């Protein structure tokens, strides 16, 4: 499609919206954006791109699902396009590095990167735990790498064996820093950052859903005079999600879930639990009622997790039962319902969860079960989303577990 022209991508100017046309992006990137069906920038993209494209460091506060992945990838690929390097450069020496806390998120970023660079020669490689080391090593040894997407533990494995060198990294992206902190990855991340060029000799893009005092210290130590962009959680998918809170007992939750799944409008749903043992228990119960579902939790082998995610994306699997960590990388269009089997202990996780539905302008529904124990987490959620929620008692017929 070498005859593609920017005039083939007509997006009318609209007040209050930024177009990708407004940022002088390279033609191959614009062609990819057109192919992907994007037209207008999300808030994190429109606010961060002017600075990221001008080589400023950026710290961005935004939830998953706001488009921040494309924001930093557009900056990385634009830099690569405008500053080409010789093809005989060393193997295993990426020009840009993206660190992500989970395998699923890293692989999602890899997929987005390949979509945005489909009309460019820039090459993306992803290295994560749970997948054969030798297979990933062969990808690194095949050709030079422009963008390396990695989870901290697996990247350190490659660094220790001298299969990867970070001394040529021009752009460092740290995604979901708060989740890195929660999962205990910061010592590994710090060790990785110290192997990249000094912060004065690289660009750093630092993203986090929240900026606690500890996260802020990390951002300050790894960036220089960054432009701080904040996209408030209330802007994230909440307006397109009908939020319901059902007051029921712990003993009624299973019956409510069964009845909900047997309603025709529940076409594709994710059920969130707080612990993986609860995840497996819910899956076992639903299967006993002849409901096809799969678990997505940290103790499940990576190959099975990927197969489960693929089935869910393709639509052959309707119901997914997940923990927050495993569910962090789920970006699937067409999810009609999110069910909080238990209210999350961290308020920001509530917004992350319900953001799995109501995506791309579609309407979604979130239903939160509020039992006695869950009620303790409700005030923090109300404060975080900025409004008081209305708890209702569901129709009693809904709680009667009828046979299939």
Residue 235 is predicted with a pLDDT of 44
User: Do residues 148 and 128 touch, judged by C-beta distance below 8 A?
Assistant: no
- Hey, what long-range contacts does 392-400 have (CB within 8 A, 24 or more apart)? 392/244, 392/245, 392/246, 392/247, 393/246, 393/247, 393/248, 394/246, 394/248, 394/256, 397/259, 398/255, 398/256, 398/259, 398/260, 399/248, 399/252, 399/255, 399/256, 399/259, 400/255, 400/259
First to last CA, the chain: 52
Rounded to the nearest 10 degrees, how much is the dihedral formed by the CA atoms of 195, 197, 202, 208? Answer: 20
Q: Domain 6-231 has what CATH class? A: alpha beta
Distance CA 143, CA 79 (A): 19
Distance CA 206, CA 222 (A): 9
Single pTM value for the model: 0.67
User: Do residues 273 and 81 touch, judged by C-beta distance below 8 A?
Assistant: no
Distance CA 245, CA 248 (A): 9
Residue 328, CB half-sphere, CA atoms under 13 Å: how many?
Answer: 26
User: Do residues 341 and 257 touch, judged by C-beta distance below 8 A?
Assistant: yes
Query: Coil, helix or strand for 327?
Result: helix
Q: What residues does 364 pair with on adjacent strands?
A: 241
Q: What is the pLDDT along the chain (404 residues), one digit of tens a residue?
A: 468 889 889 888 888 889 999 999 999 999 999 998 888 998 999 999 999 999 999 999 887 677 889 999 999 999 999 998 877 788 999 999 999 998 888 998 999 999 999 999 999 999 998 888 999 999 999 999 999 999 999 999 999 999 999 999 999 999 999 889 888 899 999 999 999 999 999 999 999 888 888 999 999 999 999 999 988 654 444 567 889 999 999 999 999 999 888 877 788 999 999 988 999 999 999 999 999 999 988 778 777 887 888 888 888 999 999 988 655 656 777 889 999 999 998 887 888 888 888 766 678 899 999 998 888 889 988 888 878 888 888 875 555 544 43
State CA 235 to chain mean position distance. 16
How many Cβ atoms sit within 10 Å of the Cβ of residue 122?
21
Q: Do domains 6-231 and 235-399 have the same CATH topology?
A: yes
In sequence order, the 6+-apart residues with CB closer than 8 A to the CB of 49 are 23, 41, 71, 74, 75
Distance CA 26, CA 20 (A): 11
Strands 364-370 and 337-340: what pairing?
A: parallel
Residue-wise pLDDT tens digits, 38-82: 889 989 999 999 999 999 999 998 876 778 899 999 999 999 999
The architecture in CATH of the region 235-399 reads 3-Layer(aba) Sandwich (3.40)
Query: Where do the structural domains in the chain lie, given as residue ranges?
Result: 6-231, 235-399
Residue-wise pLDDT tens digits, 225-248: 999 998 865 444 456 788 999 999
How many Cβ atoms sit within 10 Å of the Cβ of residue 295?
23
Q: What residue has token string 């993986």?
A: 276
The b-or-e profile of 52-83 (16+ CB within 10 A means b, else e) is bbeebbbbbbbbbbbbbbbbbbbbbbbbbbee
Residue-wise pLDDT tens digits, 177-207: 988 988 889 999 999 999 999 999 999 999 9
Runs of H (alpha helix) within 212-271: 213-222, 253-261
Q: What residue has token string 């660190």?
A: 99
In sequence order, the 6+-apart residues with CB closer than 8 A to the CB of 323 are 272, 273, 274, 275, 276, 279, 296, 297, 298
Runs of H (alpha helix) within 63-210: 68-82, 103-116, 133-142, 152-160, 177-182, 186-193
Handedness of CA 180, 183, 186, 191 (dihedral sign): negative
């Amino acid at each position: 499609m070498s005859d593609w022209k920017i005039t083939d991508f007509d997006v009318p100017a609209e007040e209050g919206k930024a177009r990708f046309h407004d940022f002088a992006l390279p033609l191959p990137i614009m062609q990819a954006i057109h192919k992907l069906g994007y037209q207008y920038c999300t808030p994190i993209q429109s606010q961060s791109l002017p600075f990221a494209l001008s080589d400023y460091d950026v710290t961005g506060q935004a939830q998953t699902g706001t488009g921040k992945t494309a924001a930093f990838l557009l900056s990385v690929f634009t830099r690569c396009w405008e500053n080409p390097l010789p093809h005989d450069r060393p193997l295993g020496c990426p020009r840009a590095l993206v660190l992500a806390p989970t395998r699923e998120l890293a692989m999602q970023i890899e997929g987005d990167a390949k979509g945005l660079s489909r009309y460019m020669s820039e090459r993306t490689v992803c290295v994560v735990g749970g997948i054969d080391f030798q297979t990933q090593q062969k990808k690194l040894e095949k050709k030079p790498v422009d963008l390396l997407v990695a989870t901290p533990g697996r990247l350190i494995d490659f660094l220790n064996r001298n299969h990867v060198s970070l001394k040529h990294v021009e752009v460092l992206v740290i995604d979901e820093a708060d989740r890195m902190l929660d999962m205990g990855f910061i010592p590994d991340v710090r060790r990785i950052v110290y192997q990249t060029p000094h912060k004065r000799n690289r660009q750093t893009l630092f993203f986090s859903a929240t900026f606690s005092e500890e996260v802020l210290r990390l951002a300050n130590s790894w960036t220089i005079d960054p432009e701080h962009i904040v996209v408030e959680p209330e802007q994230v998918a909440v307006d397109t999600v009908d939020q319901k809170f059902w007051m029921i007992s712990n003993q009624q939750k299973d019956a409510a879930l069964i009845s909900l799944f047997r309603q025709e409008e529940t076409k594709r749903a994710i059920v969130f639990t707080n612990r993986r043992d609860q995840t497996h228990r819910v899956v076992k119960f639903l299967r006993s009622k002849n409901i096809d579902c799969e678990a997505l939790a940290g103790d499940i082998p990576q190959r099975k997790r990927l197969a489960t995610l693929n089935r869910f994306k393709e639509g052959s699997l309707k119901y997914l039962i997940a923990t927050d960590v495993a569910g962090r990388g789920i970006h699937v269009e067409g999810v009609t319902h999110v069910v909080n089997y238990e209210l999350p202990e961290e308020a920001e996780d509530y917004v992350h969860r319900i953001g799995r539905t109501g995506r791309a302008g579609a309407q979604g529904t979130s239903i939160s079960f509020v039992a006695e124990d869950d009620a303790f987490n409700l005030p923090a959620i109300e404060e975080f989303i900025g409004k008081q929620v209305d708890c209702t008692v569901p129709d009693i017929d809904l709680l009667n577990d009828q046979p299939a």
